[in-house]
Amino acid sequence: MTEALVRCDVAERVASVTMNRPQALNALSDGLLAALTETLTALAGDPGVRVVVLRGAGKAFCAGHDLKEMQAGRASPDGGAAYFADLFTRCGALMQLIPAMPQPVIAQVHGIATAAGCQLVASCDMAVAASDTRFGVNGVNIGLFCSTPMVALTRNIPRKQAFEMLTTGEFIPAERARDLGLINRIAPSDQLEAETLTLAHTVAGKLGAAVRIGKRAFYDQAGMPLDRAYEYTRDVMVENMLLRDTDEGIAAFIEKRKPDWA
């Protein structure tokens, strides 16, 4: 029996989604892209899931696109143009799905995260990495500039540093990735899962409705002019304040007790 390309386990309101192509360093094949999209879409509609953790089986988080599949795509009469356009459209849709999900998504990163794998990390809301992890957008080394990974990367780290990574194809270590803002936390390899789940359970313990409202607003306001952002977030705050559980949370704080959230 062929093992599933994606495994999903839910415990204590946290869904752990594992990319399961360890023999290929979890390279994003057509099948893996489809399985990830299907799994994350289903989780987005599950009110019982508060946080999603994305991780990779085996020695690495994700080594980017599957280059063997990409080369096979050149066999079409147009030299692969239609296949490549479809591939990068599907990949872009996955990367946009992650910030659009109502739940926070945390990347649990180890080994390497390169090209589209680094793009995955940058697309997640937060990331925790093992101390020996390396990050790169290395396509330029084989003559393919990482233009689509660049979209997520330049929305995470300063432009000059992103451009250096994109044009040199060099890896950066976890400490540098944290300093630049690509990841949030670093943990020893043997403590990576525990550190990631600690963060996940902390977020999962908050009022789910407030986090969902806040995540949507976080991304929406980022692209607005300052005055429009304040107008928009004013309305978001009103929406949040009118929740029954927010009223209960404030009352509990004033009364020095735990909130009785539904």
Overall fold of domain 208-254: Lyase 2-enoyl-coa Hydratase; Chain  A, domain 2 (1.10.12)
Q: What would the DSSP string read from start to end of the chain?
A: -PPPSEEEEEETTEEEEEE--GGGTT-B-HHHHHHHHHHHHHHHT-TT--EEEEEESTT-SB--B-HHHHHHGGGSTTTTHHHHHHHHHHHHHHHHHHHHSSS-EEEEE-SEEETHHHHHHHHSSEEEEETT-EEE--GGGGT---HHHHHHHTTTS-HHHHHHHHHH---EEHHHHHHHTS-SEEE-GGGHHHHHHHHHHHHHTS-HHHHHHHHHHHHHHHTS-HHHHHHHHHHHHHHHHTSHHHHHHHHHHHTTS-----
Q: Is domain 6-204 given the CATH code 3.40.50.720 in the classification?
A: no
pTM over 0.85, yes/no: yes
Would you state the structure tokens that stand for residue 238, as one six-digit string? 């009103």
Q: List the pLDDT tens digit at each of the 262 positions of the chain.
A: 568 999 999 999 999 999 999 999 999 999 999 999 999 999 999 999 999 999 999 999 999 999 999 999 888 888 899 999 999 999 999 999 999 999 999 999 999 999 999 999 999 999 999 999 999 999 999 999 999 999 999 999 999 999 999 999 999 999 999 999 999 999 999 999 999 999 999 999 999 999 999 999 999 999 999 999 999 999 999 999 999 999 999 999 999 999 998 6
User: Phi, psi (5° rounding) for residue 154?
Assistant: -75, -10
Would you state the structure tokens that stand for residue 21, as one six-digit string? 């192509």
User: Phi, psi (5° rounding) for residue 39?
Assistant: -65, -45
Q: What pLDDT digit, counting tens, does each position of 57-115 carry?
A: 999 999 999 999 999 988 888 889 999 999 999 999 999 999 999 999 999 999 999 99
Tell me how far apart the alpha carbons of residues 72 and 88 are, in angstroms, rounded to a whole number.
Answer: 15
| Residue 18 β-bridge partners | 7, 55
Which residues are CB-neighbours of 28 under 8 A, at least 6 positions away? 36, 62, 64, 65, 66, 91, 116, 117
Where do the structural domains in the chain lie, given as residue ranges?
6-204, 208-254
Tell me how far apart the alpha carbons of residues 138 and 193 are, in angstroms, rounded to a whole number.
Answer: 27
Residue percentage of the chain with pLDDT more than 70: 99
Tell me how far apart the alpha carbons of residues 36 and 201 are, in angstroms, rounded to a whole number.
Answer: 22
Q: According to the model, what pLDDT value does residue 81 have?
A: 94
Tell me how far apart the alpha carbons of residues 188 and 242 are, in angstroms, rounded to a whole number.
Answer: 42
Which residues are CB-neighbours of 50 under 8 A, at least 6 positions away? 13, 14, 103, 203, 204, 208, 211
